Amino acid sequence: MEGIGLKQYFILFFPIALMAFSTNLFPTFEKILLASLSKEDMEASLSAFYAAQIFQLAFVSLAAMAQVFVGNWFGEKKWSRIGPGIWQFIWFSCFSLVVTLPFGYLYGKLYFKGTVIEKIVFPYYYSLLAMSFLFPLGGALTSFFLGRGKTFLVFTITLFCHLIKLPLGYAFIFGWKWIPHVGLMGGAFSIFITQLIFCLALLFVFLNKENHRLYHTREWRLKWSLFWECIKPGALRATNRLLSMANWGAITYLLARGGENHLLILSIGGTICLLITFFGEAICLTQMTVVSQILGSKTYDSLYSAFRPGVILATIATSTLAINLLIFPSWTFQKLFPQMIIDLSSIKLIFAGVWLSSAFLIFSFLPIGYVLAFKDTSFSLFMGFVSWLTGFIFIYTFMEALNFSADYFWLLLSFLHFTTGLFYYLRVIWLIQECKAADSLLRIESRA
């Protein structure tokens, strides 16, 4: 890959963004529907979602490393390794339940103890734990296509699943004809059904005759040497995600312990952020695919220029977001949460924090995509520890020691995303310089 312009980048980015958008749309849609039932249902759904993600995202992030391997093998034309490599990630996804179920159960008991949602949250939370293996499985199968730059099929299947997930969620939450009204559990039922369909559809295409001929996709056996080769780079990244999500879990617990008003502010901002972050995730996946193929083809001069398209798209996204959250905060709030009444000054402060936090988060995904493509997982692990310093400890100091109002929470959280983006960006500059220096040395030695 000699380089990539804005048009090429957008062609790759657009279907990934739509997939990420549709994936994030349902959790947001679900929380808004539950808010119309009761404030407690919305708060329980969001808190359970965050708690389950501590383990789920750690395994999803490791499984997503398959995209880096596929990108490298595809760029190096080692196509026969792709199928067996993906199978190692499939096995890993199934094994993840051994950790998720027992530790998730214990964590939930501690996390929700003494909160205002303790009595209603556990059935929903345990359902999310039970189906958690489907998400790294979906990530591994998706990587087979995205790592080769093939986005249309994944986009089509994702769109179909989420188009049926929305009406299913509505029907299960409120009841419709022969479908019973199950309220809070309705979202869990629709998530399980559609995620299972998504994984089975991708697996069917993955195993077809043409893919087996080119990529050996029916070589399903667990190969311990290849398994460790695939899992090892992602293990540190998964630890980073575990540390980061544990940090986020500690932050949300801090708010949940603060009472109903704190939990409400977390739920309002969190519901919006669930939808907004799709853009950053899409940029990260696109950047990771582009940089992986650059590294695989050894066209290192394109590494710096690959930043530009992502920066342009991130700027457009954050500027558009500012219209709703900064210019028309009251109108936006009433459209999203018509049953809730909060002071306009609080709405403005919360939305300003959500916008700033989201903007820093979206831009931070650019260098994160580079670091993942470089498989620099030791730095990712380091950032997991840094997140505790700039996240929980920072927010605890202001909200507990200095008694800041909960309205400032999202503004304080933006410091975490700002420092994360800064550290990752500095690391990327160093990685590119090291890569180009090593390539120059290799060229000199080859001429000697």
What tens digit of pLDDT does each residue of 94-123 get?
A: 888 988 899 889 888 887 887 778 788 888
The pLDDT score that the predictor gives to residue 422 is 94
Residue 374 above 60 pLDDT?
yes
Tell me the C-alpha distance between 443 and 341, whole Å: 66
Q: Which residues are CB-neighbours of 432 under 8 A, at least 6 positions away?
A: 300, 303, 304, 370
pLDDT for 22 equals 64
Name the strand (E) or helix (H) holding 255: helix 224-257
- In a domain? residue 447: no
1 found inside a domain: no
> Residue 276: inside a domain, yes or no?
yes
Residue 81 forms part of a structural domain: yes
Q: What is the pTM of this model?
A: 0.70
Share of the chain above pLDDT 70, in %: 95
Report which of 127, 162, 128, 174 is spatially closest to residue 33, judged by C-alpha positions. 174
pLDDT for position 107: 85
Please, what is the average pLDDT of the chain? 82
Q: Using CA atoms, how far apart are residues 328 and 319, in angstroms rounded to an integer? A: 13
419-431: average pLDDT: 92
> 134 or 32: which carries more pLDDT confidence?
134
Instruction: Report the domain count for the chain.
Output: 1
- Please report whether residue 11 resides in a domain: yes
With H, G, I as helix, E, B as strand and everything else as coil, classify residue 277.
coil
Query: Region 173-181: what's the mean pLDDT?
Result: 78
Q: In which band, very low, low, confident or very high, does the pLDDT at 23 lie, cut at 50, 70 and 90?
A: low
Helix (H, G, I), strand (E, B) or coil at 176: strand
Q: Which residue has the tokens 């710096």?
A: 304
Could you tell me if residue 203 is inside a domain?
yes
Domain assignment of residue 442, yes or no: no
Question: What pLDDT does 442 receive?
Answer: 46
Are residues 422 and 360 in contact, defined by beta-carbon separation less than 8 angstroms? no
Whether the pLDDT of residue 427 is over 90: the answer is yes
Task: Indicate if the pLDDT at residue 53 is higher than 90.
Answer: no
- What tens digit of pLDDT does each residue of 280-327 get? 888 888 888 888 878 877 777 778 888 888 889 899 989 998 998 899
Check: CB of residue 201 under 8 Å from CB of residue 157. Answer: yes
448 — pLDDT class (breaks 50, 70, 90) = very low
Mean pLDDT score, 122-131:
89
pLDDT of residue 243: 81
Find the domain containing 50 and state its range.
Answer: 6-436
Asked whether residue 443 is domain-assigned, the answer is: no
Q: Is the pLDDT of residue 255 over 60?
A: yes
417/410 Cα distance (integer angstroms):
11
Residue 331, CA distances (Å) to 128, 267, 320, 326 in order: 33, 18, 15, 11
Q: Is residue 426 pLDDT above 90, yes or no? A: yes
Lowest-pLDDT choice from 40-49, 232-241, 283-292, 359-368: 232-241
Give mean pLDDT, residues 224-248: 79
- What is the predicted pLDDT for the residue at 389? 83
Instruction: Give the span between the Cα atoms of 256 and 244, in whole angstroms.
Output: 18
Torsions phi, psi for 423 (to 5 deg): -65, -40
Residues facing residue 176 across a β-bridge = 179
Q: What is the pLDDT of residue 225?
A: 82
- Cβ atoms of 282 and 309 within 8 Å: the answer is no
> What integer pLDDT is reported at residue 439 of this predicted model?
59
Task: Give the pLDDT score at 19.
Answer: 66
Provide the pLDDT confidence category of residue 440 given band limits of 50, 70 and 90: low
In whole angstroms, give the CA distance from residue 366 to residue 378: 18
Q: Give pLDDT, residue 445.
A: 40
Q: Tell me the C-alpha to C-alpha distance, in Å, between residue 420 and each of 40, 99, 313.
A: 32, 28, 19
